[in-house]
Amino acid sequence: MAAMTGGRCSKVRSASRLDPLRMLSERGGGLTMRPTIARLALLAAAGLALASCQSSPKTTPVPLGKSASLLAMEQVAIAAHKCWIASKDPAFKPYQMANELNSYSGTPRFLLVPAKHYGGKPLLVVQAQGNSSRVDVFGPLMNEPLGARIGSDIARWQAGNPSCAAAA
C-alpha cells in the first residue's frame, strides 16, 4: 500500500499545473530565476552604496578618557586631602572635604565645608571646568588669613608638586 501511495503521489505531483519543479524545468531549468536573483543582488548593492554615501549624524564625540579638568582636579584633591585633612593639620581641623570629582556637568570640584555641618554652605570651592587644566579657587576662606596658604598650596599641587610644604 505504501508503494502504491508513494507512486500515486509522485504522479499527482508531476501532473499538477502549479508544480514549481515542473515549471522551472519547462522554462529552461531555472534560467528565468537567475536574472531575478541578479536584479535583487544588484539592487541590494546599489542600496548599500547609496547608504554609505550619506553623511554621518552630527554628534559630539564622547570622551574616551579623563578630561584635562578631571586629571588636574584629581591631582589637587589627592594632595589637599593628604596635606590638609588626613594629616590632621590644625588649620583645617574645623573643615571637612566633600569631593565632587565625578560631576557629569564637566566641572569636577571639591569643597571645604564646616566639619560639624557637612550639608552646610561651602567655605571653599576648588574646581576646574571643561577640558581646561586651570583650577579655580574661591569662597569665604580665601578672604581669611588661611587664604594665602590655600592659594600657594593649590598652585604648587596644580604644577605637579604633591608635597605638603612649600619649598624654602
What residues pair up with 100 in beta bridges, in sequence order? Answer: 109
Per cent of the chain over pLDDT 90 is: 40
How far is it, in rounded angstroms, from Cα 70 to Cα 109? 8
Q: What is the pLDDT of residue 133?
A: 84
Residue 14 confidence class, pLDDT cut points 50, 70, 90? very low
Are 153 and 80 in contact by the 8 Å Cβ rule? The answer is: yes
Give the three cell numbers for residue 144.
581669611
Rounded to an integer, the average pLDDT of 136-144 is 96
What residues pair up with 35 in beta bridges, in sequence order? Answer: none
pTM summary value: 0.59
Between the CA of residue 121 and those of 101, 117, 118, what are the distances in Å? 18, 9, 8
| Tens digits of residue pLDDT in 62-107 | 455 678 888 889 999 999 999 999 999 999 999 999 988 887 777 8
Among 12-21, 62-71, 154-163, the least confident range: 12-21
